[in-house]
Each structure stands twice: as structure tokens, then as C-alpha cells.
Amino acid sequence: MSARRSHLRTLLRAAYVAVNRILGTAGLRVIKLNTAVDLTDSLANVRALGVVPDCVFDIGVAAGTPELYAAFPDARYHLIDPLPASLPHMRRWAAKLDADIIPSALGAQAGEATLEIREDLGGSTLYEDIAGDRTAPRVTVQMRRFDEMFGPDDLRGTTLVKIDVQGAELDVLRGMGTLVSGVDLFVVEVSLLVAWHDAPHMDEVIAHLKGHGFVIYDICGILRRPRDNALAQLDLMLCKASSPLVAEQQWT
């Protein structure tokens, strides 16, 4: 490397540090593109590599997943969320997409379930907060198994399943039964710090999907715990070990 180029890199590095010191007061930071963690980038990457879902299951819609809808506007969508507050959002998105609306919870067993509404988490959870918060509102909803509602023909073409259900991810996966094998891509929220009694750790969710032939392909999002900035949750993208997404292992 020439002395001039080395000097330029030193200046850029100093500017990078100075800018981030200023932005840091507002909770912002400039980062390199190849270190960014973002769902939009992850979806754009798989699309560029030729993996374009024909069918998408958005499980735990809440206010919606606009990054997903923008990446694959021509897919057939199944919008799934049991909360009455989510229904207007699902209707709004269904008017723009080829989508149906399923106002039900998904789990490992069919029946009724009581969900705790957690506005701080942007959704609801099946599990009890380890802090023992009794003030959060609760709602009773119908719960169904995925494989009771859908069959192999519903997982047509390339299929993507997004699961964001605040600790009940493993329950949803168990309720899919053998239909898990018909999925090409999962985007799943997992917990490193488990804030609910009996909810699964990230390792359990990954082990379950690994047992069905899936491997981690990308990290699409991170969430840090407010109290100490510890890494609490990840949004992982997983694909089949036989997927073309992981066929090439060369670095350059």
C-alpha cells in the first residue's frame, strides 16, 4: 500500500471515529455495509441470488412486515395473528397483496390460549414474564396447529415462513409437523436472554430446525436489552442445507 493511500485511510478512520462520537449522543452510528444487519438487505440478497418465494407465511403479523412485502410483492401471503388489534393492519396489507387473513394463534396444540399483551414488545406472548408482571392485559384466543390448517399443497413453489411470536417460536414449529420439510426459508426471532418462563432458548429453536435439515444463513436483526444493552434477541434466516444459497463456500 502506498504512503498516500495509507495516509488517506488513516484520515478516513479518524473521521469515522469522530462522526460516530457525535452521532453516538443520539444513539446513532455509521457502520460499514458489509457489517450491517438488516432484514431488507437480507431479503434483497436472497432475491439477487435467485431465491424468490412464491408463498409466504407471516406468523405474528402485528402491524405488518413491510420489508418482506416490498421484497416479494408477487408472492401469495398468509397473514396470521390472533390479536384484534392486529386485524386492521392485516386488512390494510391484504388489500395491497395477494393475501388471506387468519385471525388465530398457532402452537403445538389446538384449543384456547391466553396471551399476555406486551406493548413494550410490540405484540403478545403465550408465556409468563419472569418478572411476574400481573398488570399486562390478557386476551383468550383460539390456537390451532399449522398442519391442521395447511397441507403440502399450500406450500407451493418456494416457501418462506416468518415467525415472530415472542417466545412461542418452538411451539409454532412443532405444530408444523412434517410440513417443516416443505419450507425453503425461515425467518425466526430467537432469544439469547429468555424473558418468559418455559420459553425456549435460541439453541433449542436452532436444534429443532437443524434436525429438519436447516442451517443458519443470515442474521436479519438484533435487539438489545434496555437495562444493560446485552444482546437479547436475533432474527435469523435459515435455509435447507441443500439450498443453492449455501452451495458456494469460497471466500472470494
Residues 6+ away with beta carbon under 8 Å from 80: 57, 58, 59, 60, 61, 102, 104, 106
Asked if pLDDT for residue 47 goes beyond 90, the answer is: yes
Asked if pLDDT for residue 121 goes beyond 60, the answer is: no
Q: What would the mean pLDDT of 14-18 be, rounded to a whole number?
A: 74
CA-based Rg of the chain, rounded to a whole angstrom? Answer: 20
Q: DSSP 3-state assignment of 54?
A: coil
Give the per-residue pLDDT at 87.
94
Give the residue with greater pLDDT, 210 vs 33: 210
Query: Do β-strands 138-144 and 159-163 pair in parallel, antiparallel, or remain unpaired?
Result: unpaired
Give the per-residue pLDDT at 16.
67
The pLDDT confidence band at residue 85, using thresholds 50, 70 and 90, is confident
For residues 77 and 85, what is the distance between their CA atoms, to the nearest angstrom? 19
Quote the pTM value.
0.85
Asked if pLDDT for residue 188 goes beyond 80, the answer is: yes
Contact criterion met (CB below 8 Å) for 71 and 47: yes
